[in-house]
Structure 1
Amino acid sequence: MRLLNKFITLWNMVEQVQLTPGVPDTFCWRLTADGQYSASSAYGAMFVGSSTPLGAKLIWKISAPPRVKFFFWLVLHGRCWTAHRRCRHGLQADDACIFCDQSAETMDHIILGCVFSKEVWETCLRRFLLHGLVVVQEMGVMLWWTTSRKRLPKEIRRGFDSLFFVVGWLFWKERNARTFQRLASSPAQLLDIIEQEISLWCAAGYKHLVALDARRRSG
């Protein structure tokens, strides 16, 4: 029945075509205004109907070192080799978080959901006078970041972006230090490391982070 319906539809389409004897056939490329083929229009057609992941474009606009941006690009696409991902691929027996040993070690958990991470975040947000922001464990990393920045005044949003990248990056480095080197920092020690990293970024000329840090010191 389906085949018959397709045949009828095709037949109706063919019946509507009017051929003019003596007139040569012409080709028209519908993806350009002038009807001419171009490689760029063909490439663009590959993405028709596609969607952009939350925060994908914003990542590359943040004032941060390229390697940190690339790290968050991997976070966005779920390509970091967390314990959860390694366990899912059969590379280790369990997926427990290296910080708390209470939940599965995903990037959402490492950066936001873990009790260790939450303690560091609460102190960090308080130090930078970002009292209106609250870490929500149930939210994904990218959703929390993009939602939180919209709650801030425009003049400090890009500074908060850089701060978010600093903290998230150092959570990952702390996780790797514990996993591969058996070296662990307390929340207070990690906060000191974050302060040092922020100072380095400010010295390197990341002006939005400099402005956020100056706002903290003046407040």
Structure 2
Amino acid sequence: MIPLQFCFPSLFKHSRRKGRTVAQAITDDRWVLDLAHGNNSNLVSEVLDLHRLIQRRQLNFQAEDQDQIRWNLEGSGQYSSRSAYALQFLGSTTGMFQAMIWAIWAPAKLKMFAWLLHQNRLWCNDRLQRRGWPNSYFCQLCLRNLETSAHLFWSCPFTKTVWTSLSSWQHCQGLSKACLPNECSSLEKVEAMVSATGPAHAKGIKSLIMLVLWKIWQERNNRVFRKKEATVQAVINDIRRELCLWQQGGFKSILSPFGDPP
């Protein structure tokens, strides 16, 4: 129920006794007496509305009854942090981020990285260039094109070779969809790879895609900041080692034969 002070703001502002309880206010119509001062001619309409409201409700206060607080978001009437948390998202829209990032089995740092990638917020050379910050312009994996997120993760010849090699692994054929046209966003390409994999291995392929993207980013950073350069096969071997650690960690959706090299 909305407090009366918000339903009848003019009456509340004019009243001399704003601290009365409802029971005190309606006893002998004390709330009317609290308004009997100054120029109150403009309050007639609200006074009548409030009087009718009180009459309709037929309020009957029992002195021995204690006030009760009820949490309307739970059937039991009891507060729960779960329902309070859900209330914060009431009316919000859902997208692919939940299914393609936050619900995936992967370390938290990889999820944050993937979120930045899909928002096009990674500090690739094109973004650095727009800010006027120092940058090397070229993609450090191929040294042919301006480094953008779209190029680095999907169009670079080095990256394409990684995706193509991994698509030959068991149940990973959907990774070949990484070579879709550049007009597609990163999130759309990931969705296409998952759809091409099929429901039986969708959970595992989502995690593998995130791992591959992370390893590509690591290789890029190694070349930019550490002046270390690995071959395509070395990157693939690193992905395989990490995948084995995830398997040992209990992620059942990527257990063998999923991801076994040909």
Classify the TM-score, shorter chain: 0.7 to 0.9
The separation in 2 between residues aligned to 1:67 and 1:93, in whole angstroms, is: 24
What is the CA deviation profile of residues 179-199 of structure 1, one whole-angstrom value per residue up to 9, with x for unaligned ones?
A: 000001011111111111111
What is the CA deviation profile of residues 35-93 of structure 1, one whole-angstrom value per residue up to 9, with x for unaligned ones?
A: xxxx9899657xx6x755x5311211101111111111111222211111111111125
Where 1:127 maps in the other structure, the secondary structure is coil
The separation in 2 between residues aligned to 1:155 and 1:143, in whole angstroms, is: 20
In the alignment, structure 1 residue 69 sits paired with structure 2 residue 111? yes
Kept in 1: contact 2:180–2:189 (CA 8 A): yes
Q: Hey, what does 2:195 align to over in structure 1?
A: 150
Unpaired runs of at least 5, structure 2 = 1-44, 54-71, 74-83
Output the amino acid matched with 1:104: L
Query: Offset of 1:104 from its aligned partner?
Result: 2.3
Output the amino acid matched with 2:206: D
In the alignment, structure 1 residue 181 sits paired with structure 2 residue 234? no
Q: Hey, what does 2:245 align to over in structure 1?
A: 200
After superposing on structure 2, the runs of 4+ consecutive aligned residues of structure 1 that deviate more than 6 Å are 39-42
| Percent identity over paired residues | 24
Which of structures 1 and 2 has the bigger CA Rg? 2
**What TM-score do you get using the length of structure 2 for normalisation?**
0.62
Kept in 1: contact 2:142–2:156 (CA 8 A): yes
Give the superposed CA RMSD.
2.9
The separation in 2 between residues aligned to 1:217 and 1:170, in whole angstroms, is: 18
In the alignment, structure 1 residue 123 sits paired with structure 2 residue 181? no
Unpaired runs of at least 5, structure 1 = 1-18, 27-31, 34-38
Q: In structure 2, do the counterparts of structure 1 residues 160 and 87 end up closer, same or farther at CA, with 3 Å as the change threshold? A: same
What is the CA deviation profile of residues 10-44 of structure 1, one whole-angstrom value per residue up to 9, with x for unaligned ones?
A: xxxxxxxxx68711298xxxxx99xxxxx989965
Higher relative contact order (CA 8 A, sep 6+): 1
In the alignment, structure 1 residue 191 sits paired with structure 2 residue 236? yes
The separation in 2 between residues aligned to 1:43 and 1:130, in whole angstroms, is: 38
The separation in 1 between residues aligned to 2:137 and 2:250, in whole angstroms, is: 39
Kept in 2: contact 1:113–1:136 (CA 8 A): no
The separation in 2 between residues aligned to 1:215 and 1:145, in whole angstroms, is: 18
Kept in 1: contact 2:141–2:156 (CA 8 A): yes
2:50 is aligned, of 12, 18, 24, to 24
In the alignment, structure 1 residue 79 sits paired with structure 2 residue 104? no
1:136 is aligned, of 180, 187, 212, to 180
In the alignment, structure 1 residue 214 sits paired with structure 2 residue 257? yes
**What TM-score do you get using the length of structure 1 for normalisation?**
0.73
In the alignment, structure 1 residue 160 sits paired with structure 2 residue 202? no
Q: In structure 2, do the counterparts of structure 1 residues 127 and 91 end up closer, same or farther at CA, with 3 Å as the change threshold? A: same
In the alignment, structure 1 residue 90 sits paired with structure 2 residue 132? yes
Kept in 1: contact 2:172–2:259 (CA 8 A): no
**More moved, 125-134 vs 178-187:** 125-134
Q: In structure 2, do the counterparts of structure 1 residues 93 and 195 end up closer, same or farther at CA, with 3 Å as the change threshold? A: closer
1:56 is aligned, of 97, 100, 120, to 97
Query: Offset of 1:156 from its aligned partner?
Result: 0.3
Q: In structure 2, do the counterparts of structure 1 residues 107 and 218 end up closer, same or farther at CA, with 3 Å as the change threshold? A: closer
Q: Hey, what does 2:27 align to over in structure 1?
A: none
What is the CA deviation profile of residues 86-142 of structure 1, one whole-angstrom value per residue up to 9, with x for unaligned ones?
A: 111111255321111222212222221111000011001112343353322413221
Q: In structure 2, do the counterparts of structure 1 residues 202 and 148 end up closer, same or farther at CA, with 3 Å as the change threshold? A: same
What is the CA deviation profile of residues 139-172 of structure 1, one whole-angstrom value per residue up to 9, with x for unaligned ones?
A: 3221111122122221100110011011001001
